[in-house]
Amino acid sequence: MSVGRPVEELVREGFRRVLGDVSFKVLEYHFDKLLGMDPAEALLRDPKAFYETLNRFFRAGTDILLETILKIIFRDTYRVNINVKDVLSAIKLGEVNKVYNLLSGSEKLVKL
């Protein structure tokens, strides 16, 4: 499975919109140190490690953060209705193919 750059960019944009540029840079730094990749790459290549790493920083707020980011990406920005709970569940279980398939369904969308 090749990781699509557009999907990674959607994820990065969602993180930046929720956390802001500076906080996202800090998060990228820590993900690189811990996993050797940024959060968007980790989400698509190893979703369980992504979730566990994110949980180290946000603890009880991890699910809320991810739900907010997913809603921004797919509902607010691209007007696509996906089941956020399905994506979150797939991330927690480390289902790489399912996460990629759910997220890449919007890979070719353009902003409205």
Any idea what the CATH number is for the domain that residue 37 is in?
A: 1.10.1200.200
Within a domain: 51: yes
Chain Cα centroid distance, residue 88: 9
Q: pLDDT per residue over 36-53, tens digit each?
A: 999 999 999 999 999 999
- Residues spanned by the domain of 99: 5-104
Confidence check: pLDDT of 111 > 60: no
Burial of 79 (C-beta count, 10 Å sphere; 0-12/13-18/19+): exposed
Read off the pLDDT of each residue in 53-81 and give the average, rounded to a whole number: 88
Count of domains for the chain:
1
- pTM of the prediction? 0.84
Count of residues making up the chain: 112
Within a domain: 109: no
| 14 in Cβ contact with 72 (< 8 Å) | yes
